[in-house]
């Protein structure tokens, strides 16, 4: 693995480790084939960031860890959301979800 990839992966692993997912069944709906900035295939990626992607001509996009580390390394509500791909291939929200008070409104 290239050094930038390892550095970016460690960065997002740390965020996922620190923030415990509290969003019931929150997952990405739809397929994500490639990173919206660099076109890296996402099929084997561990993490995906749904965040600012201005470098790719998009206002917001699905980013691989390297592009997210360069474009939007901060994860949080209104900034970017971090998803981890499950063994079943489902992108589950692990960081950056709605604040607790918003969750109470939606999930009661």
Q: In this predicted model, what pLDDT tens digit does every residue of 38-80 receive, in sequence order? A: 999 999 899 999 998 875 556 889 999 999 999 878 898 888 9
Q: What mean pLDDT do residues 97-104 have?
A: 66
The average confidence (pLDDT) of the chain is 83
Q: Is the pLDDT of residue 105 over 60?
A: no
Q: Assess if residue 15 is contained within a domain.
A: yes
Q: How many domains does the chain have?
A: 1
Is residue 39 a part of any domain in this protein?
Answer: yes
Q: Which residues constitute the domain of residue 10? A: 3-98
Host H or E run for residue 4:
helix 3-18
Structure tokens at 98: 């709605």
Cβ atoms of residues 37 and 67 within 8 Å: yes
- 46 by DSSP, 3-state: which? coil
The three-state secondary structure class of 68 is: helix
Q: Considering the entire predicted model, what is its pTM?
A: 0.81
């Amino acid at each position: 693995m290239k050094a930038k990839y390892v550095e970016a992966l460690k960065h997002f692993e740390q965020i996922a480790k620190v923030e415990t997912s509290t969003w019931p069944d929150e997952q990405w709906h739809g397929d994500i084939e490639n990173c919206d900035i660099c076109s890296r295939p996402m099929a084997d990626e561990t993490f995906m960031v749904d965040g600012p992607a201005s470098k790719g001509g998009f206002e917001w996009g699905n980013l691989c860890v390297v592009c997210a580390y360069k474009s939007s390394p901060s994860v949080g509500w209104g900034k970017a959301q971090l998803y981890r791909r499950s063994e079943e291939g489902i992108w589950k929200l692990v960081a950056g979800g709605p604040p607790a008070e918003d969750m109470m409104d939606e999930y009661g």
